[in-house]
Amino acid sequence: MIIAFITIVVLTSATVGVPAIWLLQNQLDRQAWAQVEQGQRATISLYTSQTKEVLSLAILTAQRPTLQELLEQNDIAALTNYLVTLQHSAGIDKILICDSNDQLVATTDPKIPTSVCHTWKTGIYQYDPSIPQVCLTAHQSIENSAGYLGEAFVCKSLDDEFTIQLRDETGLEHILWIEEVPVSTSFSGGVSSLESIQSHTIFLDKQEFHRFLEIRGSSYYATYIPLDENGLKAEVVLDVKDIVSTRSRLAGILLVSILAISLMGSTLGVLLARRISRPLIQLAQSAESFSLGDLESPVKTDTRLREIVQVAKTLESARVDLLATMISLENERDWSEHLLASIVEGITTLDEKGLITFFSHGAERVTGWKREDVMGHLVDDIFKIAGANNPFSSVLSSVLGERQKIDVLLADGQTASLAITGARFTRSSEKETEIALVFRDISEEEAIHRLVGQFLANVAHEFRTPLSALNASIELLLDQAPDMSPAELKELYTSLHLSVLGLHTLVDNLLESANIEARRFRVSPRNSDLGNIIAEAAQTMQPLLAKYEQRLTIEMPVDIPIVRADPRRMIQVLINLLSNASRYGPPGEEIILRATAEMQYAHVAVIDQGPGIPQATRDNLFRRFLFPHADDAVSQAGAGLGLSVVKAIITAHGGQVGVDDQPGGGSIFWFTLPIAKESA
């Protein structure tokens, strides 16, 4: 009875639904073909417009006075260069110049045959089977006061770029054929994507040829547009994937409707048999819930049959045991996941084919890759060795059992140095061997090693230079002092003073940097005369400035306020800034030291005429081991500590430090100091 009822319902639903679906599909087809025909008309208009544009370009080319002059002078080399320039500026693919005897004179394409002058007069579409390529051409006579000089030919290639332009303007795909051979297309992949094309003729009339295409598994409606009598034709193609999808959805809706109605009929039949099979159904539902993972719901039956009650008790006992086992496994799993998530190092596992089977949270943090993006992918696709062509899998054997440092590319394209170790293991339930990799990002450690090495080299160089000068000056004094004039002795004494000053400044910066790093850095601010501080710093730096013939101009008001400062530290700040201004500024130029009072702060600036500070380096300019001018050879002078010490001293005083551009070139290094309250 139930089967008969369901059969009647299914037949009734099909009788009503199938005609409705057929009508809707027919309407969709008509709309699709209307869109194809509209695209055909638009394409014809675009080809006509393109032909006119090429003809206009040919006319403009033939009328250019320079071209006529070069052709009349028979200067072929200059004419060829002029045509190349004209080709790029006008957006033309090829330009040919033929003389009055139809002989090729000059061209932008050296591969073009000499017979082209006669051939290209026969039609506007030219086909080169060796490429293959179709060219839309036009020609115009070149004439001047002397008479007829020849012909100018221009060509626009009807290549993939052209068909893509047609697709963008019409909304339909485009294929250019000649003798059933595709020449260009707007489909991705070019004409090679049309190798597996399958065509089915729909209908044939006097003017149009419609057909149904299957290209790379997708369905299309298409129509031809003949362009000439030699088999050249354009075809507009409409993707009917949505129509096919709609048909499938309609069929699915009909099927779902029939199934829904059948389910309603089945429910009526089931209700009739429920009184008989209810206990068995309950047991079946309980067993099904077990398979779906529901172990919380107890097994219940509404029956007094002893056999079914016994089966129910057995199922309930099995449920309790399974629930206990599942809870234990989930606890173990959660503990393992939390343990792996807490590990900073990255962990990943690979199967025998090199596919990634596990990717920890630490691996995500180190590499930047998301777990869902790498699971199941080859390790060579994710871990790529920087600066090498060999795949990552080629170095796996070297990391098994020992630590290796490998530079790899991260997800964002940056390079990182990873310390990687690996080991082989086998899961208890499987026989295949896998590889576990543990890796850690040591890029910062490597950078610190390089930075410390550079710093030590610079410090050694900074010590060696003044020490060499000291040694040379002392040797001269020991050997030749009695024979030297006062001027020569003064020059040696100045050199000794400058060397000692350089060593003193370097040692001060090294000591202050060490104190800053050890958190022992302190200042002792007191009410101090800023003018005296500036004067002492200027006096200390005067020999160095005199050596390079640099002029120090001090600009400050007469009533310069009293500041809260540690004089010794502030003299060190000014010496560092003036040393940098002298080092990076050209000899013979002026250095300005300017002090002003602004509100509750005194503002001090050192202005040089140097090359200026690149914008990209300003954010890190006052950090240790960095140099102001990253692209300048002189930037490697110094230990890279001076500006970091300046910032630490000024910050400890409660002031600010910065750098600005000097109009006309150079830099302005400035800092502020709080004015003493009694002075304010």
- Higher pLDDT: 455 or 446? It is 446
Grade residue 529 by pLDDT with cuts at 50, 70 and 90. very high
Section 524-549 average pLDDT: 86
Residue 146 has what pLDDT? 76
| 426 lies in the same domain as 510 | no
DSSP class of residue 482 equals G
Q: How many whole angstroms separate alpha carbon 576 and alpha carbon 305? A: 100
Q: Domain for residue 97, yes or no?
A: yes
Residue 309 has pLDDT above 70, yes or no: yes
Q: pLDDT tens for residues 1-22?
A: 456 656 666 676 666 667 767 7
> Distances in Å between the alpha carbon of 350 and those of 336, 355, 397, 421?
19, 5, 13, 13
Q: pLDDT tens for residues 58-86?
A: 899 888 888 888 888 888 899 889 999 98
Residue 255 has what pLDDT? 75
Contact 439, 475 (CB under 8 A): no
Residue 657 has what pLDDT? 93
Residue 462 has pLDDT above 60, yes or no: no
Q: Domain for residue 118, yes or no?
A: yes
| 368 lies in the same domain as 508 | no
Tokens for 446? 């490597």
Amino acid letter, residue 115: S
| 418 lies in the same domain as 503 | no
The mean of the pLDDT values for the chain is 79
Most confident of 134-143, 280-289, 324-333, 638-647: 134-143
| 523 lies in the same domain as 668 | yes
Burial class of residue 633 (count of CB atoms within 10 Å of its CB; 0-12, 13-18, 19+): exposed
| 658 lies in the same domain as 509 | yes
Burial class of residue 173 (count of CB atoms within 10 Å of its CB; 0-12, 13-18, 19+): buried
Residue 457 has what pLDDT? 56
Q: Which of 253, 237, 234 has the alpha carbon at shortest distance from 245?
A: 253
Q: Domain for residue 479, yes or no?
A: no
| 506 lies in the same domain as 634 | yes
Q: Domain for residue 14, yes or no?
A: no
- Higher pLDDT: 319 or 435? It is 435
- Higher pLDDT: 650 or 474? It is 650
Q: How many whole angstroms separate alpha carbon 20 and alpha carbon 9? A: 17
| 510 lies in the same domain as 645 | yes
This prediction's pTM: 0.38
Grade residue 430 by pLDDT with cuts at 50, 70 and 90. low
Residue 635 has what pLDDT? 41
Q: CATH number, domain at 81?
A: 3.30.450.20
Q: Domain for residue 283, yes or no?
A: no
Domain with 565 in it: 498-674
Q: Helix or strand or coil: residue 276?
A: helix
Grade residue 564 by pLDDT with cuts at 50, 70 and 90. very high
Q: Which of 184, 142, 152 has the alpha carbon at shortest distance from 86?
A: 152
User: Which residue's structure tokens are 């309950």?
Assistant: 282
> Distances in Å between the alpha carbon of 587 and those of 92, 150, 555, 581?
56, 66, 21, 11
Q: pLDDT tens for residues 343-379?
A: 778 889 998 888 998 898 888 888 889 989 999 999 8
Q: Domain for residue 98, yes or no?
A: yes
- Higher pLDDT: 675 or 191? It is 675
Q: Domain for residue 667, yes or no?
A: yes
